[in-house]
Structure 1
Amino acid sequence: MVLKPTECQVNNGLTSGPKPRLVFCATSGEEMRKCEHWSQAIQRSAWNAFDYDLSCKVATDKDQCMNWIENSMAHLVLLDPGEVFTAGRYHSLVPVMYELYNNVKEKGYYSVAVVKTSTSSYIRDIRDLRGRKACFTGVGHMSGWVIPISRLLDEELLDIRDCNNMIKSAANFFGDSCAPNSLIDKNNPIGNNPVSMCALCSATHPDKAKCSGSDLYANFEGAFQCLATVGDVSFLRHTTINQMSRFKRINKNEYELLCPNGGRRSVDSYLECNWGFVPSHAIVISSVTLPEDRAKIQRFFFDSVNKFSPQSTNRDYLSGQPLKPSFNRFNQSFSMKSNLTKYSLLEDKLRNDDQFSLFGDSVKYGAMNLLFSDETTALSP
């Protein structure tokens, strides 16, 4: 991968040489807006030590992002572990950074099955899911597809259909469902996957194609909305309900976890009632990226975390050691605290007069998990 330099820039009186530009692939208008704010924050930084400038490009879904990166039309996108497998197998993409959660204590999360409290009289066991309306985050997603389907296979509840076509097996078990990407060519090579796996999906927005990766019911937030609106069960990240409680003001007491070994638990009992552990999401790049460019890209993310994340541990993950106060490359006599103070004085405010935050900030942009998972507190190679 060849990263082309941009025009020379002047940053707070300091003239920098030509910089290559990284293109981050966004998949929604909200994500694009956050990405542009990130780019602006880099440009306006009072001590811009970044190796790259940042541009943003919006795609219809993650599949298009993968295609763009493979064809050098973009450089970066965040994927869940199931998507990382797809990206490597079909597009020759590889991880360059992984998310870390809960102040670097966690390198993943749990897959859970969420049901409505009102259905407790007839959904008490995973066998009770037969014929029910299921909401998946997307075919191939680890938490919202791979783990639950694998568990149902282990319990011998799914019949093997058509040379291990898991979409057909799931359709034979569940009732009408929403499993985004069930009908795309990659997952439906001979074109006869059951349309029932898309029956609950929504195409009420002109920019969001029904049953695609951009469906209104795709991903964690969408799969929860599917459950709340039309579904019986949704397979989510263990933090999703609490996120929705904070972000959408839903009453989390109206939802419970369905345990794979039977029974129900509260949404906060995910350690005792989960379907499996999911590794961290990853930022991927082209496999042809040179090692020296890969190292610079990692440094770009370290710099972004340390400058634009108040939750950052300020740890240099290349060395494993805390960043030294003299980390600024322009003037080694400046301390980290001094630089951040100067940054706050010289930085132009974003449109809402608030400092840019790399992680979280869902309320500001009106959507969850933009560019990174909201729970992310650091990044690691």
Structure 2
Amino acid sequence: MRGSSHILLFLIFTCCIRAKKMRWCTVSDPEQRKCAELAKALVAVLPPAAVAAFARLSCVRASSTADCIDKIKANRADLVALDAGEVYSAVKQFDLVLVAKEVYADGACVLSVAVVTNRSLDVRSLQGLRSCHSGARWTAGWSLPLGFLLSRNYLTWSKDNPLSQDVGSFFSASCVPGAANMAPPLCTLCQGQKSYVRQKNYFCESSHNEPFYNNQGALRCLRRGAGDVAFVDHLALESINASEWDSFRLLCPDGSQAPLSHYRSCNLGRGPGGGMVTRHNFRKVVRKFISAVQTQFGRLGKKRQRFQLFNSSLSGESDLLFRDATDKLVVLPNDMDVSQVMGLDYVALLKGLSHEGSSLQDSVVRWCCISHAEQKKCEQWALSIKSDPLVCVRAVSMRDCIEKIKRDEVDAVSLDATHTFLAGKCGLVPVVTEYYGTECAPAEGSAHLETDVLPSAVGVAVAKRSSRNIFIGNLGGRRSCHGHMYSPAGWLLPYRHTLSLEHNSSAPCDPNQVYSTVFWKGCLPGYQGNLCKVCMGGTGEAATKRCTDNHNERYYGNMGALRCLVGDPSGKSYGDVAFLEHHNLVTNILALNSSGWAEEWTQSDFELLCADGHRAALSEWESCNLGVVPPNSIMTRPVLTSRVYDFLMKSQETLGATSSTEFQLFESHQYGESDLLFKDATHCFVHTSHMDYRSILGEEFYAHAEAVFKCTHSDILEFCNQDVCSTF
């Protein structure tokens, strides 16, 4: 049996390597020694006939991980393990390929933590402190903490300068190994040997010869008192002796501190772990090699007593060749794109931090539009602004906008409360919230409105006054009009009430199931079946099949639900009850006449259906409604909050509700619709990037949405919940 396993291993190598030398790149003497031990171990576990093939593993000494990337690109080395941030650069800028990924005991990702010894420090006031980082462009030591600081506006990046320059100004002194070419001030705390000879210069290099390199080096920087805060990943905390734990604290996002053991709840973000890269034409060979080496020397390796791939203690250092915390290596298939392995959020963060270098995207804001009418209004906005360029990108629905933002195909969109909930679950964050109050004057000392009181709307059920026998409670078999799929007033709120005698509020928690059961037919744009039969579709330039989830469907949104209630201009295709928001109901009724849709309809021709079975005039919406609808929020990726905020504030100053320009940011009727890009009831924007989406929605609405989506299938949540941290 033992002999057959040796023969099998020999065949793997001789078949796939074909006597080609396998050259592993190392960045220090200890790593070189460990690599040499691996080469000896390979020879030792093989039968004599296979020695020649396995002896061809050699170790190529480089001055840094950047030097390794250069050597692999130039065919002077073949493979190296890197932090995920360096992997991304190697793939995108040097055309190397990711072939394997490190997986740890708790998954394939790391958490970024800020470690301090001073118990008075606060993550919100790091400016002017001395910082220790595991490495330039490293996930936990650079990208995640900087993304966090930028998203909270603690760190300002003007975009006129490279990010590294503004980071160098933010901290009073730093050690960021690998940053010497980016910004020399980021190296002032480093302690490696300096030399004009590249091979002998270890100062601020991503090499173990720089004492403050990698996670252990950053902690060493903190221990020695060189820095005030160390940015490392949570795996590095395992190396701290139990007797030392009380000496260190974590800085939490809310400004508090926590013990090291609380890293799961007190961290600055999550990103992928390390991986291995090689050249495209060598990837098959490397995959076979990694599989075979791990089979022999991995955690469960057959010959792990001879050599341990994920243990560096015998070489006098830590994390040599791989992270010592690595549980296993997952060899990746040929067709896996780097964004699939690392996750869309992480890749979008790296792009936002200009890991691929600057591009045209860095100077524009890409806005998501979901219909022909929104596209027209957006293009007029782009022509009217006097700030950064605006690009209008077409999508088919709000859910599609969320996905496009995740994929870095657009940057921002205004979402209703339910879609804000979905976007928040997908990792997007609020920048500003639409303000429906009448007073938009900023507080003294502030340039823009700042308030935690966010006026909301309410959802209402509306029927024609002439339909006297329609009430909440006897809607069974009627025709319904809903704003659109997932709309707060048209979809999320009504199902909680007893709509018919056959249905009560304790019935199924899936609104689609409730509406399909209660109503004979209806129009719920974005759905299917009987709840699309009343819909009309679009005409002209907005021609589309019926029931699409955007303004091209003439019965979409609050205005569309009202049109659905009165019927099309021919008097056909109408509903008995409309579920919509009250905020611009009267304005929309007037628009029925002015737009030529339907004549002679007035406010008195409609009544509200109250939850208790009574009816009331439209003016009584405060006491006769189906629930509160939180305001719309403009959502984006975390790293873009500052840029999108500045852009919106500049737009509001020149094009807002009080401006005298021809184009109005919060006006849509001239485009034949309502609530395009933003609700027409908006008076101004409120800065809310310091709040999380849950706080904006409020606990009651959040809990309601949470309960619904636990039992309602959602494609966008399924897309967003693809977790790269647990898929390997």
Report the TM-score when normalising by structure 2: 0.40
Say which one has the larger Rg. Answer: 2
Pairing 1:151–2:102 present:
no
CA distance in 2, matches of 1:66, 1:150: 25
What is the aligned counterpart of 1:176 among 173, 177, 184?
173
CA distance in 2, matches of 1:227, 1:357: 30
1:108-257 maps to which residues of 2 (within 5 A)?
108-116=109-117, 119-120=118-119, 122-123=120-121, 125-161=122-158, 163-184=160-181, 187=182, 193=183, 195-204=184-193, 207-214=200-207, 215-229=210-224, 230-245=226-241, 251-257=244-250
1:26, 1:59 within 8 Å by CA — same for their partners in 2?
yes
2:79, 2:286 within 8 Å by CA — same for their partners in 1?
no
CA distance in 2, matches of 1:261, 1:100: 29
Cα deviations by residue, 1:2-39 (Å, 9 ceiling, x for unpaired)? xxxxxxxx99xx99966222100000101000101111
Pairing 1:304–2:293 present:
yes
CA distance in 2, matches of 1:60, 1:265: 38
- Counterpart secondary structure, 1:177: strand
CA distance in 2, matches of 1:183, 1:364: 31
Q: Which amino acid aligns with 2:155?
A: L
1:242, 1:252 within 8 Å by CA — same for their partners in 2?
no
* Superposed displacement of residue 216, structure 1: 1.9
Cα deviations by residue, 1:113-136 (Å, 9 ceiling, x for unpaired)? 1011xx11x30x212211111001
1:205, 1:216 within 8 Å by CA — same for their partners in 2?
no
From the superposition, tell whether residues 160 and 379 of structure 1 become closer, same or farther in structure 2 (CA, over 3 Å): same
2:125, 2:154 within 8 Å by CA — same for their partners in 1?
no
CA distance in 2, matches of 1:253, 1:36: 39
Name 1:30's counterpart in structure 2: 30
Name 2:310's counterpart in structure 1: 359
Pairing 1:258–2:251 present:
yes
Residue identity over aligned pairs, in percent, reads 29
Name 2:104's counterpart in structure 1: 101
- Counterpart secondary structure, 2:175: coil
- Structure 2: gaps of 5 or more residues: 1-5, 333-728
Name 1:349's counterpart in structure 2: none
Name 1:267's counterpart in structure 2: 260
Name 1:330's counterpart in structure 2: none
2:278, 2:286 within 8 Å by CA — same for their partners in 1?
no
Higher RCO (C-alpha 8 Å, min separation 6): 1
2:31, 2:320 within 8 Å by CA — same for their partners in 1?
yes
Cα deviations by residue, 1:306-362 (Å, 9 ceiling, x for unpaired)? 2112x23x7xxxxxxxxxxxxxxxxxxxxxxxxx5xx79xxxxxxxxx7211112x3
Cα deviations by residue, 1:283-311 (Å, 9 ceiling, x for unpaired)? 0001243xxxx3342222122112112x2
- Counterpart secondary structure, 1:239: helix
Q: Which amino acid aligns with 1:359?
A: F
Cα deviations by residue, 1:221-273 (Å, 9 ceiling, x for unpaired)? 11111111111001001021321438xxx722211111122211111111101
CA distance in 1, matches of 2:178, 2:310: 27
Of residues 20-29 and 162-171 in structure 1, the stretch that sits farther from structure 2 once superposed is: 162-171
Name 1:370's counterpart in structure 2: 320
From the superposition, tell whether residues 283 and 258 of structure 1 become closer, same or farther in structure 2 (CA, over 3 Å): same
CA distance in 1, matches of 2:95, 2:193: 34
Q: How many residues align?
A: 310
* Superposed displacement of residue 205, structure 1: 7.6
Q: CA RMSD in A?
A: 2.6
* Superposed displacement of residue 110, structure 1: 0.8
- Counterpart secondary structure, 1:97: strand
Name 1:334's counterpart in structure 2: none
1:161, 1:168 within 8 Å by CA — same for their partners in 2?
no
Q: Which amino acid aligns with 2:109?
A: G
- Counterpart secondary structure, 2:241: helix
Larger helix proportion, structure 1 or 2? Answer: 2
CA distance in 1, matches of 2:19, 2:180: 41
Name 1:68's counterpart in structure 2: 71
